[in-house]
Amino acid sequence: FRYSTFLYIGILALVTVAFYYTRTRASFLGLIISSLFFFSLVGKKNLLANKAKTIVVITILAGISIYFNVNNESSVIARFTGDIRSESLDNNFGNETSSLQDIDLTQQELSPPSVPVDGMVDTDYGLRQYSPKLSPDYLGGRDGQASGWYVNLIHRLTGSSKPRALLYLTGLSIIHDYPLLGIGPDTLSMIYYQYLSEVCKKTNEYVGTEKQTRMHNAFLDATVSGGLLGLGVYLWFIFAFARMIWMGSRNANETDKILIIGLCAGCLAYFVQNQFSFGHIPIITLFWFLTAMSVVVCSKSYSSSNIVKGQEDLPSNVIHNLTGQNKSLNSYPLISIAGIVVCLMILLVTFSLYRYKADYYFKRGLRLHSNSKINEALQSFEMAVSLNPFALSYQHILNDVYLKMAKIAIIKGRVGGTKNMPGNYTHEQVTSWLTNAINGAEKIQRLYPGDYSSVSTLGQAYYFLDKISDKDMSNEAIKHFKRAIMLQPLQFEYRNTLAQLYADKGRYNDAINEINNAKRILPGDPAAYINLAKVHMRDNKRYVDAEAVLLEFISKYPDHKIKDIYKILCDVYFKTTKWEKALSQLEKVIEIDQEDLGAYKFAIVANIKLKRYDNVRNLCNRILDLAESHNNAYYKYAKEVLGALPDK
């Protein structure tokens, strides 16, 4: 073995190990199929030309594969089998209840960000995995029963395979409505969720609201974006490439033939991978490099063969004269074309520099934002948008930052009044941020009327303006939220936020109706139950209805560990003077979080009402032990209560 041999073998081992660490099923399918293609065509003679090297390579590949596949956590095979449920689990699928984790619900943030409302929860609690099926009454009279040849298969899928299958069904629905020319390139996200909601209703499934811009399948993507005409062009490209490879390998010498087969194997690996995961820029770039190299090698072999066949009977001086004449005749047009191409490339590179510069500022803004340098991040995002105004992601992120800044300022300004923002924020600054967000969202709407995120931004911005201005902006906010819901019917947050807006304006029946709509989308999300209970409490003190809503959630998820459910139920019992029941809910809160001083304080109040003074003393002493400082409000409260208690 030479030094270069060890180097290549080491590189092969590292690449294979890296492959296994990714656990990417599509890439492994591409690797396996392209490897089989290469080894079957390269020939036994070439494979056995150096038996030692062949044995070493096969041993390394087999050893690494066995090492990673014996462990389920690193096995790619386990990923294939793990996303398919057994038949025995089908009957209970969608009805099982897992133990919910102890989550501080009010600290979660939405993406896209939601609107804060006094006394209401603006988070989905991260519990979507506990409601894998849609509520039966959301299915529009289907009685919760879904039928079709594909439904049983989808019900058996789990993990990333299920949303991928629903994505493919959504693509077929789009093709049905746009068969000839498709919907156009880079427009899938504008109509995707409208079609996905119908597919979810038909299959009785819910897969979340992850934004999709590609179909994750090359054939489907070509047909959805370009219609049957685009699919025909894509198939023609495959046929032309395969024909070129076939003719080039037939006419090539042994060395070039191996090179052609290797390049074709690389392109085949990408083609297979592209049927499951579409649109990765580094892979696309590599694919076109491999394709270009294949064209060069095949053209060289094909042209050399034609020259030999066409000129083998001509005298050498005739061949020389013909070649010279052809060169003189073709040189000027070729030079002119080459000059034009070079000028166009220079122009293209110049324009591309603006895009690269925009991406630089965008990445810089993300880093600054992650380090909580919001003002500097805003400047970077604004520069990125100015350099590339057609990049939706740049404008979306900038709008989200504007809304986040306004949200922080409004929350801080609640104590001192919204007209005079505390700290570094003024009323004019917040209004300016919201105005910028509105302008950015309207610009997106002019370019992409079907973009639901920008419509949601308009709704949230007008909602914030309604809070801090003298003008009533609620009608504008409601209009945009309704349109966002129309464009994205399965977005829980939009309905939940619209309900918050209705509740703020005293339109409690509309708020209850919208929360029920949100609950139908995510039956297992506690935010809907909590907000519904709070609306009932604000609507003429309907405590009985609020209690029923919270008890409904507890009955469905008896082993949950969500403090807010128990706290709000305790609040209901406090307002209805049901001290015993209130105390039982507080005990559950303390069981979940033994350092929740607020729960201890309310437990003290309930025990005082029940005249259980020994329990009051124990709870006060517990607060004194847990309080970090004598200046703590809970510490002072416990001291005051102990001093006021009657002697034993």
Sequence spans of domains, the chain = 1-82
| Comparison of pLDDT for 282 and 313, the residue scoring more | 282
Report the interhelical angle of 218-251 vs 254-273 (nearest 10°): 170
CA distances from 247 to 256, 323, 487 (A): 12, 25, 50
What are the backbone angles phi and psi of residue 84, rounded to the nearest 5°? -120, 125
What are the backbone angles phi and psi of residue 112, rounded to the nearest 5°? -70, 155
Tokens at residue 69, please?
A: 């596949």
Report the distance separating Cα 427 and Cα 420, nearest Å. Answer: 6
Lowest-pLDDT choice from 133-142, 182-191, 256-265, 327-336 = 133-142
Tokens at residue 376, please?
A: 């500097």
Q: Tell me the one-letter amino acid at 498.
A: L
- Asked whether the predicted pLDDT for residue 528 surpasses 70, the reply is yes
Tokens at residue 148, please?
A: 């079709």
- Cβ distance 503 to 117 under 8 Å? yes
- The position carrying tokens 């039956």 is 523
Q: Work out the percent of the chain whose per-residue pLDDT is above 90.
A: 30
- Asked whether the predicted pLDDT for residue 574 surpasses 90, the reply is yes
Report the distance separating Cα 338 and Cα 257, nearest Å. Answer: 30
- Asked whether the predicted pLDDT for residue 544 surpasses 50, the reply is yes
- Asked whether the predicted pLDDT for residue 122 surpasses 70, the reply is no
- Cβ distance 508 to 532 under 8 Å? no
Q: Work out the percent of the chain whose per-residue pLDDT is above 70.
A: 78
Closest CA to 486 of 454, 459, 450: 450
- The tens digit of pLDDT for each residue in 600-616 reads 999 999 999 999 999 99
- Cβ distance 244 to 296 under 8 Å? no
Closest CA to 199 of 230, 182, 177: 177
What are the backbone angles phi and psi of residue 157, rounded to the nearest 5°? -85, 145
Q: Tell me the one-letter amino acid at 29.
A: L
Which residues, at least 6 apart from 70, have a Cβ–Cβ distance to it below 8 Å? none
Tokens at residue 175, please?
A: 């093709």
- Asked whether the predicted pLDDT for residue 117 surpasses 80, the reply is no
- Cβ distance 396 to 389 under 8 Å? no
Q: Tell me the one-letter amino acid at 303.
A: S
CA distances from 382 to 376, 396, 447, 456, 549 (A): 10, 11, 18, 20, 45
- The pLDDT, as a whole number, for residue 279 is 58
- Asked whether the predicted pLDDT for residue 89 surpasses 60, the reply is no
- Cβ distance 502 to 511 under 8 Å? yes
- The position carrying tokens 């005051």 is 640
- Paired residues of 84 in beta bridges: 157
Tokens at residue 236, please?
A: 């023609």
If pLDDT is split at 50, 70 and 90, which confidence band does 131 have? very low
Q: Tell me the one-letter amino acid at 505.
A: K
- Cβ distance 633 to 648 under 8 Å? no
**How does DSSP classify residue 100?**
P
Q: C-alpha angle with apex 603: 600 to 606, nearest 5 degrees?
A: 160
- The pLDDT, as a whole number, for residue 66 is 85
Average pLDDT over residues 179-199: 84
Report the distance separating Cα 400 and Cα 394, nearest Å. Answer: 10
The count of C-alpha atoms lying within 13 angstroms of the C-alpha of 129, restricted to the half-sphere facing its C-beta, is 8
Report the distance separating Cα 456 and Cα 213, nearest Å. Answer: 18
**How does DSSP classify residue 232?**
H
Report the distance separating Cα 183 and Cα 178, nearest Å. Answer: 6
- Paired residues of 157 in beta bridges: 84
- The pLDDT, as a whole number, for residue 27 is 80
Q: Tell me the one-letter amino acid at 425.
A: Y
Q: What DSSP string describes 379-413? A: HHHHHHHHH-TT-HHHHHHHHHHHHHHHHHHHHHT
| Comparison of pLDDT for 258 and 325, the residue scoring more | 258
Report the distance separating Cα 309 and Cα 362, nearest Å. Answer: 57
Average pLDDT over residues 107-131: 40
Does the predicted model carry a pTM greater than 0.75?
A: no
Largest CA distance in the chain: 127
- The pLDDT, as a whole number, for residue 327 is 54
Three-state helix/strand/coil letters over 433-487: HHHHHHHHHHHHHHHCCCCHHHHHHHHHHHHHHHHHCCCCCHHHHHHHHHHHHHH
- The tens digit of pLDDT for each residue in 420-460 reads 444 557 888 889 999 999 999 999 999 888 888 899 999 99
How many Cβ atoms from other residues are within 10 Å of residue 366's Cβ?
15
What are the backbone angles phi and psi of residue 611, rounded to the nearest 5°? 60, 40
Average pLDDT over residues 393-417: 80
Report the distance separating Cα 206 and Cα 521, nearest Å. Answer: 8
- Cβ distance 589 to 596 under 8 Å? yes
Average pLDDT over all residues of the chain: 79
Q: Tell me the one-letter amino acid at 296.
A: V
Which residues, at least 6 apart from 397, have a Cβ–Cβ distance to it below 8 Å? 362, 365, 366, 381
- Cβ distance 110 to 494 under 8 Å? no
- Asked whether the predicted pLDDT for residue 262 surpasses 50, the reply is yes
Tokens at residue 496, please?
A: 């939940």
Report the distance separating Cα 365 and Cα 402, nearest Å. Answer: 13
Report the distance separating Cα 29 and Cα 84, nearest Å. Answer: 18
CA distances from 425 to 283, 325, 375, 407, 550 (A): 46, 78, 12, 11, 38
Report the distance separating Cα 222 and Cα 237, nearest Å. Answer: 12
* H-type alpha helices, 278-315: 281-311
- Cβ distance 617 to 580 under 8 Å? no
